[in-house]
Amino acid sequence: MRSYECAVILHPSVTEDGLKASTAKYVDIIAAAGGEITRVETWGKRRLSYEIMHQPEGHYFFYRFRGANQLVDELGRQLRIDENVLRHLIVRDELANGEEPKLEPGTVEPAVRHPEREREEEHRG
């Protein structure tokens, strides 16, 4: 089990009912595959930085969930089939306090000066 975050951009012409149906659909898919949804977030209709399928806008949704890797494959497959989905992105959720966080808090180099290293870098330009 791993934590993931899935971003979905839906077609701007999808009605409010359609949005609800879509959310319910993906929540069901995740649940059916043994996943556990931790959060569903929406940003509403938002302007895209560039047109996707000739659409200047899209509805943004973010699903955070925990699940097996098979679930990610299945979810990705379903998202690719869905014609209302302009774009989707599934990434590992590094913020969730699940196992295997890439960076433990506090492992980032503190802002300490390394005189030797700095001198070296200055020489390099």
2 part of the interface to other proteins, by CB under 8 A: no
Among 17, 97, 99, 108, binds other proteins (CB under 8 A): 108
Among 45, 49, 54, 76, binds other proteins (CB under 8 A): 49
Among 19, 52, 74, 76, binds other proteins (CB under 8 A): 52
Phi (first) and psi of residue 107, to 5 degrees: -85, -10
> Tokens 């070296």 identify what position?
120
- H/E element holding 19? helix 16-32
Structure tokens given for 87: 């774009």
3-state DSSP call for residue 81?
A: helix
Residues making contact with other proteins (CB under 8 A)? 7, 9, 48-50, 52, 58, 60, 62, 87, 89, 91, 94-95, 102-111, 118, 121-122
